[in-house]
Structure formats: structure tokens, C-alpha cells
Amino acid sequence: MIYRECGVFKASYREDMAIFPIPLDRWGVIVILGMAFLVVPFLASDYWLGSLLIPFLVFSLAALGLNFLTGYAGQLSIGHAAFMAVGAYMSLILYGRYGVPLILSLLGGGLVAAAVGAVFGIPSLRIKGFYLAVSTLAAQFIIEWVLTHWKWVSGGVFGTVDTPPMQVFGWAIDTPVKKYYLVLSFVVVLTLFGKNLVRGQLGRAWMGIRDMDVAAEIIGISLFRYKLLAFAVSSFYAGVAGGLITFAYYGAANIEAFHLTVSFHLLGMIIIGGMGSVLGSFFGGGFITLLPIFINQFSRSFGTMLKSDLLACIELIIFGGLIIIFLIVEPYGLARLWHTLKEKLRLWPFPY
């Protein structure tokens, strides 16, 4: 009754092809964006902004990239954190060593990561399935080695490169609020770009490749082009996310921050959030990023402070258990649950 399509008339092609055809959806997104830009920075504490919202946004962006590759194009990839590392180091080099403006160096890091991703995507033209998954693991190890051993990248020091103080168009970005705005703007723009990407020809080609790639090739979808594009686009998103998290959260580029476990966390994010769904990446990203905090708070509310390694074990158990539970109960993830809820709302108060 509230959330309905009847009474919504489209008078032009433009309106017909809008991202959010239902007005309540459109208003909802505008309200959320408004709150994110105008309300949250003033109400939230520095801790919330700096330690919770920024990692949530950044990892959701990286999960979105992985979703393009695994959820839309069907190429399973378990080495995605390596492309985040490439973006992190490259954007730092561009900004710190060559003085390229911050926004351009973040995008540049993403572009370099895209190129690297396309190179590591070449095996996908011949190899399929689990063989491909293990080949993408090769990317993780090779890139880790290159970034630590190549002197031009690591600057002669093994592993860690600090970020210089940031500024955009002359404004210094030093407080958590300003960092939050930087990250939020990037995430909003890139998400909009990504949503339109998968609604158009590219997304349809990817979904064709995911469902049955032999048939897709027969009807004329060039597997070479679209598979490499999938790797390139998803690595671009991962690279920008890596650059953002280096500048706005870690403060230094360290290869240990992009270890294999991060790749598994990203995979967990898209499994729990929903593969093949833009919104799902955000659900999954939020869930996994905020999970350790919740466990901590939960255990503290019992009055006992558990030892930190026991807490880490409980985290692992819950993470693994949740993946299994979601796969059994709702294989399409939280995004499908949300979708079902909206469907019910459309018909409310009628049951069907």
C-alpha cells in the first residue's frame, strides 16, 4: 500500500529507464545520501567515523569490485586483496613521490590495478572453475612478492611506506570528518557508476558469461573482451579501495594489510551480502566489518572480558558458521532477504 507501483506513470523513455522507478525508492535513497552527507558527520563521534564507517565504506567498495567479477561475470577469484595492495602502493607513489593531486592519484592507482588485474585475468580465457580459482591465488602471492622485492615500489624498505599529509584543492584533509567525506564521495560516485555499468550492455554480457559461457560466445559476446574487462573493472574498484584505505585509515601502505585473509573476508562479504547485487556488497561489507565489534560488545555485556585469542577464535567460528548458514538458508544472501521484504511490502496488507 505504501510501497506501490500503481499510480506511477512514466511519460518518457528517460523515466522508464531510471535506476529507481518507484518514487519511494528514489526518496529513500535521497534521504539516506542526505543523512550520510549532512547528518552523520555532525552526530557521529570521531571513533564511529574513523574506525567504523570508513572501513565499512572502503571494504564495501572492494566487495563491489569482487561482486562484478564473481557475482556478475562468474569468474571465481580468491586473490582479490592483492589488487587492493597494487592500488594502495601505486596511489601512494603517485601522490607522495610524483606530487600528482590526490584524487587523480587514487584513480591512477585504480587504473594500474586494473591493468594488473587484466594481466592476471588472461588465464581465465583458457581455464575454468576451480582451476581458475587457484590461478587467481597465484596473483595474491606473486603480487605480494613483487611489491616487497621491487625496489622502485617499496623504496628500498621492506613493506611499509607512510602517507604524506593529504590535501585536495588546497583543503587539508586531516580530521576524521574530512577523511569520511573523501571516502564517502568516492564510494557514492563509483557505486553509481557501477550500478549503471551492470544495468547496461556490460552487465548483461557478464551475466551471459556467468550463466553459460559457451552459449554466450556463440551468440556473439566476445569472451576475451568481456572476461578481461571483468577482471580490469573489478581490479579498478579494488585498487581505488586500497588507495582509500591506505590514505584514510591505515596511514601507511603495508603489504601485511592485504594478506590472503582479507581476500577471504571479501569473498565472505559477497557470499553473505549477495552475489550479483550492488546493494548486497554493502550489506556484506557492513556485516563483516562490524562483526568483530559486535562480538566484542556482546561478550563485554556478559561481564567477562574474554582473552583476545579466544575472541578471535569465536570470530572465526561465527564467520565460518554464518557463511554455511547463509548458503543453506538463503544462498542469494542478505540482498535477497531485503528484496523479499520489499516484495512483501508491495502487497501489504495482502499476503499475496
* Residue 75 or 91 having the CB closest to other proteins: 75
The DSSP string of 13-24 is: HHHHT-S--SHH
* Residue 120 or 249 having the CB closest to other proteins: 120
Rounded CA-CA distance 275/272 in Å is 8
Locate the DSSP E strands across 148-203.
160-162, 166-168, 171-173
Could you give phi then psi for residue 140, rounded to 5 degrees?
-55, -50
Minimum distance from residue 149 beta carbon to other proteins (Å): 4
* Residue 238 or 271 having the CB closest to other proteins: 271
Rounded CA-CA distance 113/101 in Å is 18
Minimum distance from residue 137 beta carbon to other proteins (Å): 6
* Residue 180 or 226 having the CB closest to other proteins: 226
Distances (CA, A) of 267 to 275, 280, 308: 10, 12, 25
**Cis preceding linkage at 23, omega within 30:** no
Minimum distance from residue 35 beta carbon to other proteins (Å): 34
Minimum distance from residue 216 beta carbon to other proteins (Å): 10
Rounded CA-CA distance 45/51 in Å is 10
Minimum distance from residue 74 beta carbon to other proteins (Å): 8
* Residue 198 or 267 having the CB closest to other proteins: 267
* Residue 142 or 188 having the CB closest to other proteins: 142
Minimum distance from residue 233 beta carbon to other proteins (Å): 21
Beta-bridge mates of residue 127: none
* Residue 40 or 322 having the CB closest to other proteins: 322
Distances (CA, A) of 219 to 18, 216, 223, 348: 28, 5, 11, 42
For binding to other proteins (CB under 8 A), which residues are involved? 76, 123, 126-131, 133-135, 137-138, 141-142, 144-145, 149, 212, 214-215, 218, 260, 264, 267-268, 271, 309-310, 312-324, 327-328, 331
* Residue 108 or 280 having the CB closest to other proteins: 280
Rounded CA-CA distance 333/351 in Å is 23
Minimum distance from residue 339 beta carbon to other proteins (Å): 19
Beta-bridge mates of residue 172: 167
Q: Which residues contact 213 (CB under 8 A, 6 or more apart)?
A: 74, 128, 223
CB 274 within 8 A of CB 336: yes
Minimum distance from residue 279 beta carbon to other proteins (Å): 20
